[in-house]
Every structure is written in structure tokens, then in C-alpha cells.
Amino acid sequence: MKQYLNYSSDWLEQHSAIHTAKEICQQPRIWRNLLQLISQKQEQIQVFLKPLLADPNLEIILTGAGSSAFGGVALAPWLREHTKLNVHAYGTTEIVADPLQYLSTNKKTLIVSFARSGNSPESVATIQLADQIVSDCYHLLLTCNSNCALTDYAAKKNDSKRIFQFVMPQEAQDLSFAMTSSISSMMLTTLLLLGNIDSNKATEAVMKISNICEHQLSSWQTITKQLAHKPHERVIYVGSSCFTGIAQESALKILELTAGKIATRFDSIMGLRHGPKFIINNNSLVVCFFSNDAYIRQYDNDLFNELLHDNIATDVLALSGQHSNDKHILSVDCDLSDC
């Protein structure tokens, strides 16, 4: 019988968890498929993106709703650093409510839309408003659905110089309410298309990450299942730079998958100290995302040691890309730069 996360398909079906479990497990395979798909469409991608990314005055806005917004928040710092372009992340829910706060009439702008279904009213309204407000506007539509409202919008515009849709592999159109393979696929695509990464290095990194996830998933389950069986009432995620967005997305995942039964919070490493730390009680799990950057990691370690010394939270766990023998640190040992 087919198993996911060491649970049988029957058990997962009975607990309404089959889609989430399957979609978590399929991610490495989808990431590899993405490499092939991008390679096949490379000529079209370059025709659209190369002249845009060559303009130092280009403004890039990463946008979406919920997980699709938080993915952009996670990627924006890395893209700003590596492309030297002006990259922002705003939710479609923010843009639609007050578009003039986020859209500039006189700045050449590339709107990167993250959309699992491609049918969200806010997703459609955002690109419509952008075309109305921004005098020189371009759209990169990243969707998991090839037949959606965003596809229809692109077809009606019929302007390949200003709008390009890239559809994820079909399996990435998650059926679970909580986005997993869909959001990770759209985030990876964004890095590969916009990140100015050498194609050989990108392929090597994606293959390495995919292999690590497949091979270590079982060992990670030992820790995660132990934590899941504890009566945590609150889960707090913290991280700096890109990991602030990852923390935000992680907090949403727990909230969604427990239907609000567990209260969640996210913050930056240093931001937690300025009031939000009071949420931590003796029924809390705190998860710290450790940066591989030596400067940032100083602050990660400082807060981590402070939380352990406080001895208030039931559990304090750090996720690290560097090896550690500390029992409170789950090491991925990927030896890759952040994000």
C-alpha cells in the first residue's frame, strides 16, 4: 500500500490528510521537473525577461495572496541583493485596497504574480489596476493552472512583449487547502528566472536540495512527530531577512493545518524582543530559522541562546543549514548560501 510520511494512504484518507501529505512528498520531483520545463522554454523566457532585467531602473513587484504573498516576502531580499534591482513584495490584497500606495505611474514595472489557481479576484484586479495606473507595465504570471482567469487576461491582451505566463508542472496545482508544492515551485521558478544565477550552478543547487529533501525526510519525521505529539498551544517562528518571510509562511501553515486550534506568530529575530516575545508561554514551541550568513547568524544565535536561557517555552528548535551537535538544532547540512 502506498505510504506518505510513513502513513498509509488509507489512514491519510480517513483523516482528510492525503492531499497535504502527498503534496509535501512530491516537491523534490516537481523541482527537478521545473528545471527541464524552464530549459524547454528558455528561448521564450529570455526574449521576454532579458531586456527588462537589463534596465537598472526596473522596479519589480512580487505579489500574491496568502502563501503566494509570503513567498514574495521571502524572496525579495535575496533578489534585491543579487539583481541590484528595486524589488518589493506586496500582497494583492494590499494593492487592490489602495493601489496608489504601491504602484508608481512613472516607473517601469514588472509585476510578478504568484497564483495557484489563477482565479483569485485580487490577482486579476491587481494586474488590471497595474495596467491602468503604470504607464510602462509588464507582467510575469506564475501559475499552477493553465486554464484560469489570468490566462484569459493574457490572451485578451495578446501582447507577448508585455505579458508572459509560466505554468508550473501539473502536479504543482495542490488540492490541499494548505499550499506546499505549489508555493515552493513558484518560489523556485522566481529564483531561476530572475535571480541572475548561472544555469549550471542553478541545476547543481536544485538537484542537491531535491536529493537532500528526499533522503532526509524520514529522519526529520522523527523530530517533527515527537513535537507534534506535545500539547503545544502556540507555535512561534522567527527568522531574519529572507527567513522572515519563511517564518510568516510557516506560521500560516500551522494555522491552516490545525484549523486555528494552535495560535501562531511570526517575527524577525530581533523584532521578537520588542513586545511579541510575551506570546511565549510554557505551552509554546519556538522555531528559529538560522541564516548561513555569518553576520546574521550572530543575531540568530543570540536570540536562540536567550530563549533557551529563559526556559519558558516547552521547546525551542533551530533549523540550520550548517552542521551542529546541539540537540536543539536540526541540521540540514546543505552547504548552500541562503535561499
Q: Model pTM?
A: 0.94
Q: Determine the average pLDDT of the residues in 120-127.
A: 97
Q: What is the pLDDT of residue 127?
A: 98
The pLDDT value given to residue 325 = 80
Please compute the mean of the pLDDT values over residues 72-93 and round it to a whole number: 97
Confidence tier at 335 by pLDDT (50, 70, 90) = low
The pLDDT value recorded for residue 336 is 61
Three state DSSP letters for 126-192: HHHHHHHHCCCEEEEEEECCCCCHHHHHHHHHCCCCCEEEEECCHHHCCCCCCCCHHHHHHHHHHHH
Q: What would the DSSP string read from start to end of 39-104?
A: HHTHHHHHHHHHHHHT-TT-EEEEEESTHHHHHHHHHHHHHHHHH-SEEEEEEHHHHHHSGGGT--
Q: Residue 324's pLDDT band (boundaries 50, 70, 90)?
A: confident
230-331 maps to which CATH number?
A: 3.40.50.10490
Rg (Cα) of the chain, in Å, rounded? 20
Domain 3-204: give its CATH superfamily: Glucose-6-phosphate isomerase like protein; domain 1 (3.40.50.10490)
* Residue 256 grid coordinates: 491552516
pLDDT of the residue at 323? 81
Q: Which of 56-60, 114-118, 156-160, 325-329 has the lowest mean pLDDT?
A: 325-329
163-213: pLDDT as tens digits: 999 999 999 999 999 999 999 999 999 999 999 899 899 999 999 999 999
* Beta-sheet pairing, 263-267 with 284-289: unpaired
Residues 42-66: what's their mean pLDDT? 97
**Distances in whole angstroms, Cα of residue 321 to Cα of each of 122, 187, 338, 339:** 36, 19, 9, 10
Residue 122's pLDDT band (cuts 50, 70, 90): very high
Q: Where are the domains of the chain?
A: 3-204, 230-331
Say what the pLDDT of residue 1 is.
73
pLDDT for residue 133 is more than 70: yes
pLDDT for residue 339 is more than 60: no
Can you give the pLDDT at residue 333? Answer: 65
Domains 3-204 and 230-331 alike in fold: yes
pLDDT at position 233 over 50: yes
